[in-house]
Structure 1
Amino acid sequence: MDQDSDGMADVDDAVDRMQHEWSRLRPDLSFTSLGVIHRVLRASRLILEASDAFLAGYGLTRGELDILSALRRSDEPLSPTSLAQTLLAPRSAITMRLNALQARGLLSRSANPTDGRSSLLVLTDSGTAFVDEVIPAQLAFEDALLAEVPPGEIEGLAGRLRALTSVWEQGRGH
């Protein structure tokens, strides 16, 4: 971050402004973590908002695409519980999305032979074809979101984010 003529840091974005304002109010505290955490949260929200707007053209939300993608990648049927754990989504959100996707004929449920209270999920043939249509378009959309980032920086950023999420996920027991 650059400094202006009075020695104060130039404010570059909303998070810089937050850090600057908090530092002014509470100079006894370090707001370094705020710079990382709030940028990750803001990036997540901006990505989800843009992704949902893009996927609306397919009648999907990002959460629904995540479910369809997980089922497409799996060699075996998945349970709603395993989907919720994999996607870090509340079970109620998974159930709502599953109901909508099943109503569209994109997935089917069958009884879980090892747990009578649960079901197993698989994509239907039309669900598989739909995912195979949407994924290339979604990847092109995501590439466009990152188009302004120099290619060499994307892998570095991915590595740093992997390091953060790995630490957090290990702390959760995953």
Structure 2
Amino acid sequence: MSGDATTQQAAVDALAGFDLHDAPGHLLRRCQQLAVDLYTNEVGADGLTPRQFALLLAIYQQAGISQVELVRSTGIDRSTVAEMVARLIKRGLLVRERTETDRRTNALVLTSEGEGQLRQAMPGVMRAQDRIMAPIPPAKRAEFIALLRQIIDTLEPRG
């Protein structure tokens, strides 16, 4: 068999033996889909999206955070954060303020409406988190979270 034929046969063998239902990437994607569905069911289709909730929560917990810090804190890419922040400002949920220390940097702060939306979403978010963790035995939940964090901490690009 030539090199090309051997490579092609190896690919065919790998395809035949690959079990999608045991592939970590596929399983994580499916879990993420289910988590978003649970979130939407609990918070409501008209409520904050999971990413909006993440941004608003990060800003609530770190008032005055910059967009660069928001990207690091949430893991949402820079261009998406910029678009989301612009839309949330337009909706009156956030304001940008110039920082005292660096006039080129904008600090993000929740408006009272933004904080209200966050508070309104919180009970649904907590119910969704409980439903996500329900299949995991209570004694294994901390380990499960630690393993998810390990994947992120190991694979996430450092910038």
TM-score range, shorter chain: 0.7 to 0.9
> For residues 37-66 of structure 1, what are the alpha-carbon distances to aligned partners after superposition, in whole Å with 9 as ceiling and x for unaligned?
321222123323432454444432111111
Matched position secondary structure for 1:148: coil
Decide whether the 8 Å contact of 1:108 with 1:123 is kept in 2.
yes
Runs of 4+ in structure 1 over 4 Å off: 29-32, 113-117
Identity rate of aligned residues, in percent? 23
Quote the Cα distance in structure 2 between the aligned partners of 1:59 and 1:119: 26
2:42 and 2:127 in contact (8 A); partners too = no
Q: Which stretches in structure 1 are left out of the alignment for 5+ residues? A: 1-21
Task: Give the whole-Å Cα distance in 2 for the aligned partners of 1:163 and 1:30.
Answer: 25
Change in Cα spacing, 1:90 to 1:162, as seen in structure 2 (3 Å) is closer
| Normalised TM-score (structure 2) | 0.74
Note if 1:36 corresponds to 2:24: yes
Alpha-carbon separation, structure 2, partners of 1:162 and 1:91: 21
User: CA 1:102/1:56 → structure 2, altered by over 3 Å: closer, same or farther?
Assistant: farther
Q: Which amino acid aligns with 1:167?
A: T
The residue aligned with 2:158 is 173
Per-residue CA shift, 1:138-172, capped at 9, x if unaligned?
Answer: 11122023223321222221122222222224xx2
- In 2, the alpha carbon distance for the partners of 1:131 and 1:26 equals 47
- 1:98 aligns with one of 85, 90, 115: 85
Unaligned segments of structure 2, at least 5 residues:
1-9
Number of positions where the alignment pairs a residue of Structure 1 with one of Structure 2: 149
1:130 alignment partner in structure 2: 117
**1-structure distance, mates of 2:154, 2:86:** 33
Q: Report deviation, 1:111.
A: 2.2
